[in-house]
Structure 1
Amino acid sequence: MNIIFQDRFPIRAIVLIGVALLITTQIYAQNAEARLSLTLRNATLKEFVKRIENSTGYSFIYSEEITIKHKINLQVKDKPLREILDLAFKNEQISYQFTGRHILLQKKKESKTVGRKFTISGYVTDGTSSETLIGTNIIESHQNQGTTTNPYGFYSITLPEGETELRFSYLDYATEAHRFTLSQDTLLNIRMQGNTQLQEVVIVSDKTETGTIATQMGSIEIPMTQIKNTPSILGEADVMKAIQLMPGVQAGVDGSAGLYIRGGSPDQNLILLDGTPVYNVDHMFGFFSVFTPEAVKKVTLFKSSFPARFGGRLSSVIDVRTNDGDMQKYHGTLSIGLLTSKINLEGPIVKGKTSFNISARRSYVDLIAKPFMPNDEEYGYYFYDINAKINHKFSDRSRIYLSVYNGKDHFAANYDGDTDSKNGSTMNWGNTIVSTRWNYIFNNRLFSNTTVSYNNYLFDVNSYNNNKYANSMGTSIINRYSADYRSGINDWSYQIDFDYNPSPAHHIKFGTGYIYHRFRPEVMTSKISEKTGDKVDRDTTYHSIANSRIYGHELSAYLEDNIKVNDRLRLNLGLHFSLFQVQKQSYSSLQPRVSARYQLGKDVTLKASYTQMSQYVHLLSSMPIAMPTDLWVPVTKKIKPMRSHQYSLGGYYTGIKGWEFSVEGYYKDMYNVLEYKEGVSFFGSSSGWENKVEMGKGRSAGIEFMAQKTFGKTTGWLSYTLSKSDRQFAKGGINNGERFPYKYDRRHNINLTINHKFSERIDIGASWVFYTGGTSTIPEEKTAVIRPNDGTNNGSWGGYGHEGVFDSAMTSPTIGEASYVEHRNNYRLPSSHRLNVGINFNKRTKHGMRTWNISLYNAYNAMNPTFIYRSTSKNAPYKPVIKKYTILPLIPSFTYTYKF
């Protein structure tokens, strides 16, 4: 029924209508949130009103002066009536009001002062713990403007004066709606309540910086629920292994936590822990990472269009943020598994003002094995992590955070010789990171974060040999030899970042940073002492001539703006400047970053990006797995910075409820990438490393497909990557100047991940991976050769993999074997595939939640090659036979977790 006011409309009728509205207001209020599905094409206001009335039982009241400028086009599924009205009238001067069973349409009131705008700002936190919520979506319904909270939970949005409705949404939290009249700058802090009915896993969140509506391309936020539910070796949930399941990301060796992203090497990944770079992220020789999931709040991967605030690496940025700590109550988690035990505790120090969060993890294989060791031998290995954080709120404008991480791997071997001798060695490597961050709100549009941090990575090896015997006179003689080898890198860094929100159409970030690097490629000392009785015959310390420290200064500045051109087009424009000074040599780089998002239709999005990056550090390594002997070295006068140009294009479709589909293609050029020269490798010594490598070019191209189900009891995704990566060096150098495939050039990569929740008590997760093999250099033939000695007796003959047995006489000929290889990386390893399965049994107890996890790593025992090596047969001693070695067969495990 339409009621149109005429000039002569009876006053009595108006009174009767008013009484009826008052009586029925409470009855029909709940229907304002009724959900409808509706499709309209070029509808008039009268047609729209009729459809709503027929579907809901509401009647519209409006005067004949209410008209629309544009025809109404809608296609909505299961949307609240309020949202449908917002969409229909978003570009019209029409407001609405629910009054009982009627909807009153009126002209929007014009602002008293045209153009007046005000800013709403504040923090979004968990309603129970006061933990800041990163990436919360904030949408203003009437203006269709939006923003998100930054990495510290702060938001700012500037809107026209008048009626305002802000909606706050975040994964696993109930949506918060706040309606008010905006007449002045407003501080609005939001405490969101968890929604226990939303237990689904969302793979890629719908944020302005990640997901399908984001301007950025190739950016993925991986929820912690997904990381914790991904089956892994020995039940150890791992951040890096969850990232490996994303398209465009590969593991190096089967089962390792290494990351090879879009044709890049592991040192081309910038891994940040609360904004501080981490150089070594591996435990147990690369099979586990240093990040304890219980300490982590958010993980974001950038692999395509890098925001301008990031720099220093070519292939990816992995931004890891840790939990701040509960400001209201104490609680924790205890977990016991086959390999490690973990504990996490958090709570208030001063309720509502100061909180703490601490996590600790330790492996205990050494403790279990110790009783079974022989009396004259002792071997042991363990690793541990400690994360601690203190969060203090001075006021709504000022907060400070203190974070500490310390982690170490320790290996020891001690044994007695046949006589009175003792031998042993220890090997330790790990990180220590300390950072302080201060958040300050200058005004409701300008937010700043200042970070000061210290980062130290150290690898240390000690070995000794003690011999004790008696001479012919019966006098005791003691000989002792000890050696110490150290390498590492430590940084002092300062960074200040600003978020400026002048209007909803612009989100500007700018800042600057400085890092003071101290590289210690290697420090080697040895000591020899001899003692006869009480007399010291010799006590000498030797220092290697390679001992040195290299100091570097890295300065950076950036500016980026996320621009909303119109409802369809968004741009992210940025510029990153960096300067690196080392050995009186300076390198500078100006790196443009451009990305665009165009909304082709309601459910179809197109994106494109261009990114330029520079890198000033290199990792020297010869092993296929992460080793503590790998050394970080800076650019030098001879070695230039690596550079890359990456071009990307993608399309995204969300037209099927609960599903997202995407395809992304990329092409990347890399310059000044390093490879070892022919016949040269590295193991623990940086001496003369500049002469052992060559600089060349690299290419990488690929296309990535992904289909993911984001809601429901069953969630997961299927991804397929088709890619190619190669290298090329100067003619006469590596591979005689011809292109050759990169070591981890893998043509096909498939990831299938599924999570299903049977009930509150039982849920299951599974992941299946398939990838074609990488490449390796394998000599095709071996021949026996006799060559005259070159006078140096260093056995350096050039070529691939030459092996020799050298005569001790300087002038005698050398007898050995020469290997022939046609080209670099001439052998492709066989394909690998693996299924991991894990099931959780949950039970709520009086004081918390108990979970038993049972996992199978490599469930059907696929014998994938971890390493390959060359052997020979007795019948053909000079014809190589390639054999594979598998170290990760079927591995069952269980874990007990108790949350209290």
Structure 2
Amino acid sequence: MPYIHRLFHVILIFFPLFANMANGYSQQKVNGYVLDIETGESLPGANIITYPWGTGTTTNQYGYFSLSLPNQTQKVTISYIGYKPIEISTSELPDSTLILFLEPGYILNDITVKTNTLQNFIATPNSPILKLRQSEFRQAGSIFGEPDLLKKIQTLPGISQGKEGGSEIYVRGGHPGQNLIMLDGAPVYNINHAFGLLSIFNVDALKEATIYKGGIPARFGGRLSSVIDVWGREGNENKNQGSFFFSSIGTGLTLEGPVVKKKSTWLLSARRSWPDLLYSGFQSLSSNGRFVPGISFSDITARVNFKIGTDRLFLNLYHGKDNFFVRSETATNKTNYHLSWGNYLASAGYTSVLSSDLFAHALLYFSNYFDKEESENSSQAYNDYFERLSLFRELGTKLSLDWQINTNLLIKTGIAGSYQRFRPAKTNQSLQGQYYSENSPYSDIKTINLYGEGIWSTEHWNLQAGIRTLGEKRDGKSITAILPRLSIGHNLSEQFALKASGMITRQSFYVLSKSSSGWPGYFYVPVPPHVDSSMGTDLSVGFNVSTNRKWNIDIQGYIRQYKNIAASYEIPSDAFAQIDWAEKIKIGDGRSSGLEFLGECHYPFGALKLAYTLSRTQAKFNEYYDGQWFNGDYDRRHDLHLNLLFSLKNDATRKRQLSVNFYYRTGQPLTLPSSEVSGLYPPLLKESYWYDFSFIPHYSGPNNTRMPDYHRLDISYETTKKKKHGARTLSFGLYNAYNRQNPYLIYFDNDDNAYKQLTLFPVMPFIMWKRTF
């Protein structure tokens, strides 16, 4: 799209002119940090507004801001949702970096807080941006009652869930592997526990999450579909504190406190499943160890923060791992099967205030994803074993500068480099005394990115334009690309706003399913040498209407296209162990379009929220349907979420609320035989074949039918009581209250000669108890 490139050039050239015309030259500059007075933690997204002009800025993810004050500014107001605002006269502003503290506990109920949060992200020029703060995703429940960030994200318009209970995120028809998910600026590649029942994020260690469905800023890259930018808490710099919870599936502990008061902090958060310990013990006792299956998960997050004058340093470690195992033993035979997967992540970040209008932040990170499978079968005569390992590693660094030119113009520039190493399969096998080993070669991708963004804002206009330039080397080839981004917002009045955005994205690796039979999990492979990288374009427009903080409606429409995406319909179930995987995938295109609706209505005793998406996602591959478009894997024509929140009690010592959630979405596309052809058994030893060759299934193509539509009702009750030290929270409820038999997968029953559905989650009660101290 050459016209997009020309438009970006014109916008960037005239940015400074527009800004100076809007407000003239500034006489005074102010910069500083906005912090919680009780914990000393930064408050990202706090508002800094000038009076009487009404212009201002917000703090970045580190709680820092820089603002050029227009002439005749009388005072500056600093505010954050749920905190008491403060006002500072311009005559009292010092020349040094400010450290501003806000006091929590401002008398705002949750309903007002949620309205303000919605208005914050709607007022930005990036219309597809959604921002969630800790108070919101702490209330998001999973199947087993434990708060789950990704489950909360799945309820937003334009974002859908895969299989029931899964944590995969499908954004505007895109694949889960096309989402960039980051923790404190570093990429995370394993996003779920227990085959998707829980996400890897422990909400007690998190501060906020920003979701970019479209209009992704130029500072983010490497994925086609979306960005989920998650930031963790720093820890309390004034005193030691913690929390403990116990739910139907796991238990967790979070501890935090100062290393040196006002100078450095630490935070440690850990979770582990507990039913596997109990279940394995009962199985061992009841069957004398003859058959013991189990699944477990664990994760730990550790963070240390240092204040060095106005500079900041943080060190972050994350380790998450899952295990699935089956042990079987008889008098003559012993079998062990063990599957483990997870993600290790280490990062170090440093920020520095170079001047009153120049802020720098640097990051160094290492992320490692692994998937390992081991099986052993031993008897008196032999000892067979099989081992497979799949690896994906990334080492990267980022350096960014934020330059506040004047009241209206902010420039963001930066450079980022990464080194990615893939090894899809390494296998070792011993079979009846014979040893076999087969390894796929290492594949490397080296990239370097330069980006520049300009953010120009006035009372009625918001404009963000950026360009990301890419230099990449893979398979001995050097590749360059220019990826433009643009977002525009116009406030026609205090109640009505228009917005639009566009972007071009690029991705150089595929995320393929480990199995064609529905077995959960993925493995990472680079784009084959003979194929160009995947490309995506997204255009969206929308508007927002709100009034008096009581109701708010946001509507957006989008069109999205994908080029050079991978299909794995014919990859065998053991694809992860194949060395020639590049020869088995098909390359094609995709497209998606839709209309997204988000509405909220707030009243004194509760709130109503409705999220609905009408969309269509299609794919096209030359090998299927004669190259015609067909329903894509993630096509959900209708996706609806309705939430009713009733505030039964809300005062200084006790809080009680009842929540009702209804979900509906069109059934997932599915591939089943379209007909059967008569077949013959091999002429010899018919009885030795386990497969019925009398009929051979014929497939017209992928996604030729759908599962039944999905719907369910959840009801939950939560009560929180303030204690002398901390608080106690108890929540319980019903998942799938009317026991809808939603299909998890469709299988063929040979005994009944018919296809049947497997339901994993009938009506299920859940409970969670939590204590802060």
Matched, 1:385 2:299: yes
C-alpha distance in 2 between matches for 1:882 and 1:627: 18
Matched, 1:414 2:337: no
Name the counterpart of 2:455. Answer: 562
**C-alpha offsets along residues 348-383 of structure 1, whole Å, 9 cap, x if unaligned?**
010000101111100011211133222233333210
In the TM superposition, 1:707-856 aligns within 5 A as 707-709=599-601, 712-730=604-622, 733-759=623-649, 760-786=654-680, 817-856=695-734
Name the counterpart of 1:617. Answer: 509
In the TM superposition, 1:468-867 aligns within 5 A as 468=380, 479-527=382-430, 541-544=435-438, 546-564=439-457, 566-621=458-513, 623=515, 629-676=521-568, 683-709=575-601, 712-730=604-622, 733-759=623-649, 760-786=654-680, 817-867=695-745
Paired residues of 1:231 and 1:836 also in contact (CA < 8 A): no
C-alpha distance in 2 between matches for 1:496 and 1:399: 14
Paired residues of 2:70 and 2:407 also in contact (CA < 8 A): no
Which shifted more, 851-860 or 627-636? 627-636
Q: Secondary structure at the match of 1:843?
A: strand
Pick 1 or 2: higher relative contact order, CA cutoff 8 A, min separation 6: 2
Alpha-carbon distance change, 118 to 186 in structure 1, aligned in 2, over 3 angstroms: farther
Paired residues of 1:651 and 1:664 also in contact (CA < 8 A): yes
Alpha-carbon distance change, 750 to 628 in structure 1, aligned in 2, over 3 angstroms: closer
**C-alpha offsets along residues 809-837 of structure 1, whole Å, 9 cap, x if unaligned?**
xxxxx956432233431112211111112
- The residue type equivalent to 1:415 in the other structure is S
C-alpha distance in 2 between matches for 1:835 and 1:628: 25
Q: Secondary structure at the match of 1:341?
A: strand
Structure 2 spans left out of the alignment, 5+ residues: 1-20
**C-alpha offsets along residues 81-117 of structure 1, whole Å, 9 cap, x if unaligned?**
xxxxxxxxxx9x9xxxxxxxxxxxxxxxxxxxx9562
C-alpha distance in 2 between matches for 1:278 and 1:712: 40
Structure 1 spans left out of the alignment, 5+ residues: 1-90, 94-113, 469-477, 531-539, 790-803, 809-813
- The residue type equivalent to 1:642 in the other structure is S
Q: For residue 754 of structure 1, report the CA deviation from its aligned partner.
A: 2.6
Q: For residue 763 of structure 1, report the CA deviation from its aligned partner.
A: 1.5
C-alpha distance in 2 between matches for 1:334 and 1:376: 33
Matched, 1:404 2:404: no
Q: Secondary structure at the match of 1:684?
A: helix
Q: Secondary structure at the match of 1:744?
A: coil
C-alpha distance in 1 between matches for 2:541 and 2:276: 50
Paired residues of 2:116 and 2:549 also in contact (CA < 8 A): no
Q: For residue 321 of structure 1, report the CA deviation from its aligned partner.
A: 0.4
In the TM superposition, 1:157-196 aligns within 5 A as 157-160=67-70, 162-181=72-91, 185-196=95-106
Alpha-carbon distance change, 676 to 466 in structure 1, aligned in 2, over 3 angstroms: closer
**C-alpha offsets along residues 216-245 of structure 1, whole Å, 9 cap, x if unaligned?**
111101222222222321111111110010
**C-alpha offsets along residues 161-197 of structure 1, whole Å, 9 cap, x if unaligned?**
5553111111111111111327874422210000252
Identity %: 29
Q: Secondary structure at the match of 2:150?
A: helix
C-alpha distance in 2 between matches for 1:823 and 1:115: 64
Q: For residue 685 of structure 1, report the CA deviation from its aligned partner.
A: 2.5
Q: Secondary structure at the match of 2:122?
A: coil
Relative to the length of structure 2, the TM-score reads 0.91
Q: For residue 511 of structure 1, report the CA deviation from its aligned partner.
A: 0.6
Q: Secondary structure at the match of 2:138?
A: helix
Which shifted more, 385-394 or 668-677? 668-677
Paired residues of 2:729 and 2:771 also in contact (CA < 8 A): yes
Matched, 1:463 2:366: no
Name the counterpart of 1:15. Answer: none
Q: Secondary structure at the match of 1:618?
A: strand
Match of 1:240 among 150, 153, 166: 150
Alpha-carbon distance change, 180 to 463 in structure 1, aligned in 2, over 3 angstroms: same
Q: For residue 678 of structure 1, report the CA deviation from its aligned partner.
A: 5.3
C-alpha distance in 2 between matches for 1:172 and 1:727: 45
Q: For residue 543 of structure 1, report the CA deviation from its aligned partner.
A: 1.5
C-alpha distance in 1 between matches for 2:566 and 2:328: 41
C-alpha distance in 2 between matches for 1:340 and 1:257: 16
Q: Secondary structure at the match of 1:242?
A: helix
- The residue type equivalent to 2:322 in the other structure is D
Alpha-carbon distance change, 430 to 178 in structure 1, aligned in 2, over 3 angstroms: same
Alpha-carbon distance change, 859 to 394 in structure 1, aligned in 2, over 3 angstroms: same
Q: For residue 602 of structure 1, report the CA deviation from its aligned partner.
A: 2.4
Paired residues of 1:162 and 1:183 also in contact (CA < 8 A): no
In the TM superposition, 1:199-210 aligns within 5 A as 199-201=109-111, 202-203=113-114
Name the counterpart of 1:278. Answer: 188
Q: For residue 255 of structure 1, report the CA deviation from its aligned partner.
A: 2.1
Which shifted more, 583-592 or 671-680? 671-680
Paired residues of 1:674 and 1:695 also in contact (CA < 8 A): yes
**C-alpha offsets along residues 454-497 of structure 1, whole Å, 9 cap, x if unaligned?**
111111122222222xxxxxxxxx63222221102111111111
C-alpha distance in 1 between matches for 2:498 and 2:275: 51
Match of 1:329 among 220, 234, 239: 239
Name the counterpart of 2:7. Answer: none
Name the counterpart of 1:533. Answer: none
Q: Secondary structure at the match of 1:267?
A: helix
Match of 1:439 among 344, 351, 360: 351
Name the counterpart of 1:309. Answer: 219
C-alpha distance in 2 between matches for 1:777 and 1:483: 31
Name the counterpart of 1:449. Answer: 361
Name the counterpart of 2:5. Answer: none
- The residue type equivalent to 1:640 in the other structure is D
C-alpha distance in 2 between matches for 1:837 and 1:596: 40
C-alpha distance in 1 between matches for 2:486 and 2:768: 45
C-alpha distance in 2 between matches for 1:601 and 1:505: 19
C-alpha distance in 2 between matches for 1:183 and 1:233: 51
Name the counterpart of 1:347. Answer: 257
Q: For residue 660 of structure 1, report the CA deviation from its aligned partner.
A: 1.1
Alpha-carbon distance change, 823 to 897 in structure 1, aligned in 2, over 3 angstroms: same
Alpha-carbon distance change, 662 to 714 in structure 1, aligned in 2, over 3 angstroms: same
Q: Secondary structure at the match of 1:193?
A: strand
C-alpha distance in 1 between matches for 2:574 and 2:644: 41
- The residue type equivalent to 1:674 in the other structure is A
Paired residues of 2:540 and 2:557 also in contact (CA < 8 A): yes
Paired residues of 2:45 and 2:61 also in contact (CA < 8 A): yes
**C-alpha offsets along residues 289-327 of structure 1, whole Å, 9 cap, x if unaligned?**
100111110011110211111111111110110000110
RMSD: 2.6
Q: Secondary structure at the match of 1:367?
A: helix
Which shifted more, 824-833 or 183-192? 183-192
Paired residues of 1:806 and 1:816 also in contact (CA < 8 A): no
Name the counterpart of 2:757. Answer: 884
Paired residues of 2:268 and 2:303 also in contact (CA < 8 A): yes
Match of 1:369 among 279, 301, 321: 279
Alpha-carbon distance change, 582 to 329 in structure 1, aligned in 2, over 3 angstroms: same
> Looking at CA atoms only, which structure, 1 or 2, has the larger radius of gyration?
1
Alpha-carbon distance change, 661 to 165 in structure 1, aligned in 2, over 3 angstroms: same
Alpha-carbon distance change, 132 to 207 in structure 1, aligned in 2, over 3 angstroms: farther
**C-alpha offsets along residues 568-618 of structure 1, whole Å, 9 cap, x if unaligned?**
222100111223322212333211101101112221100011111011111
Which shifted more, 595-604 or 342-351? 595-604
Q: For residue 788 of structure 1, report the CA deviation from its aligned partner.
A: 9.8
Q: For residue 762 of structure 1, report the CA deviation from its aligned partner.
A: 1.3
Alignment length (residue pairs): 740
Paired residues of 1:431 and 1:457 also in contact (CA < 8 A): yes
Paired residues of 1:141 and 1:166 also in contact (CA < 8 A): yes
C-alpha distance in 2 between matches for 1:211 and 1:832: 30
C-alpha distance in 2 between matches for 1:393 and 1:159: 27
Q: For residue 413 of structure 1, report the CA deviation from its aligned partner.
A: 2.3
